[in-house]
Chain A
Amino acid sequence: MTIINFTPISSVIGGLLIGLAVIIFFIGNGRIAGVSGITNNFLFSKINRLDNFLFLLGIILGPLLYRFFTGTTIPFVIDSSLILLVSAGLLVGVGTAIGGGCTSGHGVCGISRFSSRSIVATLLFMFAAIVTVYVKGMI
């Protein structure tokens, strides 16, 4: 194993901001800032629809704000195989809907509340993702 492209400082700063966003959403609206749940509710529930929309809009505008202030382009390098993109999207959609959360809802908010459900969920999706990357790398 070799260490590559290590950016601990910008990653910690980004993490602190995500934590701050979680605090603002909870202290203001009383709700958990889990992106899969909010997107799901925005699609299928009339309750809090405008708030869910505005939160998602904010996330979409975040990268633009960054580009505006720094003038740098945001790297986005992705495997563009159609079959992989569709399978991955379906698995992420189905998985987070069944499992009740994703990296933000379980990984950040849940662990911060010391929820045993979220700790188990995070260990499992991290494990599955690491194994998937390992297996994909062998093919």
Chain B
Amino acid sequence: MNRFCSLFSGLIFGLGLTISGMTNPEKVINFLNVARSWDPSLAFVMIGAILVSAPFFYLVKNKNKPLFAESFSWPTLKEIDSKLIIGSLLFGIGWGLIGLCPGPAIASISLIHHSSFTFILAMLAGFSLVRAYNLIN
């Protein structure tokens, strides 16, 4: 059942990304282009998503077990450290350069576009670099 849950959740996620317009890098760039010609739409994606999930996370706080797993994996990190700050800034620069973040990048695989494949391979290389660095240190 948790297998079905993972696939179903991914499907709804991918459908949401597509309907919202986030799968089009041009629309993302127009959203980020606040100083010139601005498309505010993608702020509404975040508002819509948070509108549903914020009350949910509040309500689920006191539950002790998910439906198909042993326990809830609540994020445990609390500290605002240099890793969080530097990582988020680097991510933002990459996002602004092309207009793709990980979710829409994965979704765009089905659109079969060579630029999307190039981006994803570089992103996976980025994951691997950090992984290798962490293994060495």
Residues of A within 8 A of B (CB): 1-8, 10-33, 35-36, 39-40, 43-44, 50-52, 54-66, 74-80, 82, 84-100, 102-104, 106-117, 120-122, 124-134, 136-137
Contact = CB atoms under 8 A, between A and B. Distances in A.
Nearest to A97: B130
A95 B50 contact: no
A59 B14 contact: yes
Interface in B41-86: 41-42, 44-54, 56-57, 60, 65-73, 75, 77-80, 83-86
Contacts of B136: none
A130 B40 CA distance: 13
A54 to B, nearest CB: 4
Main secondary structure of the interface of B (DSSP, over half): helix
Nearest to B65: A30
A1 B38 contact: yes
Given A54-B10, A129-B93, A27 B66 contact: yes
B124 A43 contact: yes
A5 B92 contact: no
Contact size class for B?
Answer: 35 or more
28 contacts: A4-B38, A17-B15, A18-B16, A20-B12, A23-B56, A28-B2, A29-B2, A43-B127, A58-B10, A62-B16, A62-B18, A63-B23, A78-B113, A82-B118, A88-B95, A89-B123, A96-B87, A97-B131, A98-B130, A102-B91, A103-B95, A113-B75, A117-B79, A124-B85, A125-B92, A127-B89, A128-B88, A137-B35
A100 B41 contact: no
A77 B90 contact: no
Given A10-B21, A11-B41, A92-B119, 7 more contacts: A17-B13, A57-B10, A66-B19, A75-B24, A75-B27, A92-B101, A94-B126
Nearest to A32: B75
A108 B85 contact: no
Question: Which are the 7 A-B pairs with shortest beta-carbon distances?
Answer: A62-B14, A93-B126, A58-B10, A15-B48, A14-B20, A99-B87, A89-B122
Residue of B93, B102, B114, B121 with highest tally of chain A CB at under 10 A: B102
Contact of A35 (B53, B89, B102): B102
Contact of A115 (B33, B50, B75): B75
Nearest to A43: B127
Contact of A84 (B35, B85, B97): B97
Residue of A17, A79, A87 with highest tally of chain B CB at under 10 A: A17
A124 to B, nearest CB: 4
